[in-house]
Amino acid sequence: MKNAIIKLLLILATLLAIAWAHRTLDSYTLSILNNIAIFAILALSYNLINGVAGQFSLEPNGFVAVGAYVTALFLIPPSDKVDMFALVDPAPMVLHMHAGFLPALVISGLVAMMLALLLSIPVFRVRGDYLAIVTLGFGFIIRIFAINQPAYTNGALGLNDIPEYADFLWTGSIALLTLIVMLHIVFSRHGRAMKAVRDDEDAATAMGINTFRIKTAAFMTSAFFEGVGGGLLASFLSTISPDQFSFLLTFQLLIIIVLGGLGSMTGALLATILVMGSMEWLRFLDSDMVIFGMHTGAHPGMRMVVFAVLLIIMMLFARKGLFGDRELPQILREKFRRKKGEA
């Protein structure tokens, strides 16, 4: 009972902090926080299949693209679609797609989840590197579809003037919801089964665990939140194109979950803040600086060099990531017990 009250108070405090930030912070800071919140949703969901279930999947860019396009098509008014689709006329189905922001996000997540269900049938017949190649191919297929089916996606031109509903109230609240859901899964019976599959799939099968069902459930859950995150990203950016959903997006998420610790949701959240925040906080390195009275000149891309060096240093001293496969409450609890035992 006491733990439940503490968790409820933490959730309420976080929601109040999100509301306060939305009301008081400037637009530039809020844009950074929005970006962090969206990538937190994507990283947390990706960590479920890759870190907790231990399936080396490289599909996030595909599901994010699906969520982004579905949400955008639901949010853009039908009259605007007729003017926007320059290559060919929009398909009749596209013109009939119209919904509010929340229903559009939910539908986007469900579409991604259904695709994950269909994909899981061939995908989970293989393991390891082969699984990575199959899921990598899915991301390429979605991107090629977006380019070569202009009646549904406007082709390489992408979609513009997407209504900007994704403010920090939405992104921050959904990021919090994603964290709560993921932690609940991790500490549940299903989460323990996912970890068993990750550690030794053959032993898990021998213990009576239906490994296909567990992996499929993790894959579908991950895809749902990736679809929702893609929808938020589309509304936040107000414009999308196939080039935004290349393998680079998956690579960014892979960096985040490895840095935070594969299987650690709170680690993924902290790593998202560090990675996405650092890309903005280190931006001053690209511009001209005065050091000891001397102008260094502008060096575009220098922040990425420094960022990469910092990542290398962090991974050298934390081989399993910031939190390993543990969550922050577990780490704090262990330290408290250790101090109590020393006393």
DSSP 125: T
Residue in the structure block whose two tokens are 């960590």: 47
- Helices marked H in 200-297: 201-206, 211-237, 247-260, 265-281
Rounded CA separation 132/125 (Å) = 12
pLDDT number for residue 292 = 64
Q: Furthest-apart CA pair in the chain: how many Å?
A: 74
Angle at 264 between CA 106 and CA 181, to 5 degrees: 30
* pLDDT value at residue 296: 67
User: Mean pLDDT for each 10-residue chunk of the chain (343 residues)?
Assistant: 82 93 92 95 95 90 95 92 85 89 96 94 82 88 92 90 93 96 93 92 90 93 96 94 90 90 91 87 70 66 75 78 82 76 64
Q: Specify whether the CB–CB gap between 267 and 52 falls below 8 A.
A: no
Asked if residues 74 and 119 have their Cβ atoms less than 8 Å apart, the reply is no
User: CA–CA separation, 59 vs 46, rounded Å?
Assistant: 9
Q: What per-residue confidence (pLDDT) applies to 320?
A: 81
The pLDDT, as a whole number, for residue 339 is 73
Give pLDDT, residue 279: 81
Q: What is the pLDDT of residue 343?
A: 59
| pLDDT at residue 269, as a whole number | 94
What pLDDT shows up at residue 290? 63
Q: Are 60 and 249 in contact (CB under 8 A)?
A: yes
Structure tokens at 27: 């637009």
d(CA 233, CA 108): 12
Q: Helix or strand or coil: residue 154?
A: coil
DSSP state string for 229-241:
HHHHHHHHHS-B-
Buried b / exposed e over 249-273, threshold 16 CB at 10 Å, is bbebbbbbbbbbbbbbbbbbbbbbb
